[in-house]
Chains A and B, each alone.
Chain A
Amino acid sequence: VIYDAPALDAPIDQGDLFVECPILAVTAFHPTLGQPANVEFEPRRVVILTQTCDLANAKTTTANVAEVFDASVLVDEGKLKAAEIRGPLRAGRIWGWYFLPADANLGLPEMIVDLRRLHTIRLDLLRLLCQAGHRTGRIQPLYREHLAKHFADTFSRIGLPRPYETM
């Protein structure tokens, strides 16, 4: 078990999982017409990526989150195969994607974090989600640092034009 359930009034921390977090998207924009953009929202599952120290020091008024998807939905929609989730994704071999195991006690399914679907959410809005019971769990230390390392590696890696040749 890699999760625990923080109290409703517990401070927001790295690794907190939320449901019903409103995610916005500009779905249409016509800059030449001078009309306002079309904006849509959908409640989504997210995980907090902002580091614990920055949240604990109250330095920031926002948190960075990544979208989290039910693994079964991605399989049903043909985005991934179950074998790919069990294999390379669960093993952490796919940059930008991170597997989270299910937890029946917390009602969490097997999940996939998309570390390229990033958003900035105000902390006061996240606190409202906490009070409404929409914080569904918290990834525990070591596991959350493992996620943070994968997040950092995704954006700090340097790819070569082609692999080195071997003898």
Chain B
Amino acid sequence: MNDTLTQALAELHLQPGQSQFVQVNGYAVEIHRPADEESVFADMVMLEPWVELASPRQGTSVPVRRGTLPLPDAPEIPSNWEESNP
């Protein structure tokens, strides 16, 4: 590769992982800089805390009978709603 082409590519200032596409003689050429630099976050661990609390050990058993639970309360419907609003 001649120096002129190398200098032209250097002026692209491609970042790691970045690509540029150019048309040469009617066909596409991709110029790609590999992402060879390790991310500054590579050694960081994404915390994913999760606590499954133990079930209560002491309790009282009570008989449960089938009933009719109440329906939900009626919601407040705004009078000025419009379908075009976000």
Contacts and interface: CB of A to CB of B under 8 A. Distances in A.
Interface residues on A, range: 35 or more
Nearest to A41: B64
Interface string A44-79: 100000000000000111000001010001100111
Given A23-B69, A77-B71, A36 B81 contact: no
A79 B71 contact: yes
A44 B77 contact: no
Q: What's the dominant secondary structure at chain B's contact region?
A: loop
Interface string A1-40: 0000000000000000000000111010000000011111
Interface residues of B, number: 22
B42 to A, nearest CB: 23
B85 A93 contact: yes
Given A87-B83, A91-B81, A36 B60 contact: yes
Interface string B42-86: 000000001010000000101111111101111111100101010
Nearest to B55: A61
A117 B64 contact: no
Contact of B72 (A38, A59, A69): A69
A5 B36 CA distance: 46
Most buried by B among A23, A59, A88, A117: A88
A122 to B, nearest CB: 9
B22 to A, nearest CB: 38
Given A39-B62, A80-B74, A88 B81 contact: yes
Q: What's the dominant secondary structure at chain A's contact region?
A: mixed
Interface string A82-100: 0010011101011011000
Given A60-B52, A69-B71, A73-B71, A39 B64 contact: yes
Interface of A: 23-25, 27, 36-42, 44, 59-61, 67, 69, 73-74, 77-80, 84, 87-89, 91, 93-94, 96-97, 114, 116-117
Interface of B: 50, 52, 60, 62-69, 71-78, 81, 83, 85
11 contacts: A36-B60, A36-B62, A39-B64, A39-B65, A40-B67, A41-B67, A59-B52, A77-B71, A88-B78, A91-B83, A93-B81
